[in-house]
Amino acid sequence: MLAMKVDFQKENRTAAKWLLEYPERRQAYIEKSNIQYIGAAVNDGMPRGYDTGRPCESKGIRLADLEIERQWIITIENVEKTLGPKKLAFLDIRRQAEKNRSKTKGRPGWTDYTMVRYADWHNRNYGGDYVPGYQTLKEWWKELIDITVRIAIRRGCL
C-alpha cells in the first residue's frame, strides 16, 4: 500500500514540475526540435575522446526524449484549455511565484505572493476586493495537479 502512495506522490511532483516549468520547457523543446539531424552524427574529421562512439544510439535516445517532452507539452496545453480565465490567471501567477521564490524575503513559499497578485488581478478584471485564502490556493493548486495527472495518464506520459 505504501508503494502505491509513493507512486502517486511521484506522479504529482512530476505533474507539478511540468505545470510550473512549462514555458521554459516548451521554449527548450522548440530549440531542440529545430536542430536538423542529417545523419546519425556530424563528422568533422576530428576524433573525440569523450564520445562513446554510438551515434545512432545517441540520436535514438535524443529523439525518444524529445517525444516524451512533446507529449508533456501537449498535456500541459490540454490542461490549460480546460481551465477558465480565473484558473489560468492563478496558474500564471503561480508560475511567477515559483520564479521569484528565491528573490523574496521572509517566509519561503508561493502562497503569499500568489494571494496578493491574484487579488490585484481579480480587482482589475472583475472589480471588488477578493482575496483568496491560504486553503483556497492550496485546493486550487491540488486541483490543477489532479487534472494534469489525469490527462498525463491518458496521454501516456505517466
CA geometry: angle at 19 spanning 16 and 21, to 5°? 105
Work out the pLDDT band at 7, boundaries 50, 70, 90: confident
Among 15-19, 44-48, 153-157, where is mean pLDDT lowest? 44-48
pLDDT at 83 over 60: yes
Please tell me what DSSP assigns to residue 47: -
In angstroms and rounded to an integer, the radius of gyration of the C-alpha atoms of the chain is 20
Question: Alpha carbon of 112 to those of 51, 62, 119, 125, 132: distances in Å?
Answer: 48, 40, 11, 20, 10
pLDDT value of residue 41 = 54
Instruction: Tell me how far apart the alpha carbons of residues 89 and 121 are, in angstroms, rounded to a whole number.
Output: 8
Instruction: Tell me how far apart the alpha carbons of residues 67 and 93 are, in angstroms, rounded to a whole number.
Output: 28
pLDDT, tens only, 84-132: 999 999 999 999 998 887 665 666 689 989 999 999 999 999 988 899 9
Q: Is 0.85 surpassed by the pTM of this model? A: no
pLDDT at 3 over 70: no
By 3-state DSSP, what share of the chain in percent is helix, strand and coil, each rounded to 5? 70, 0, 30
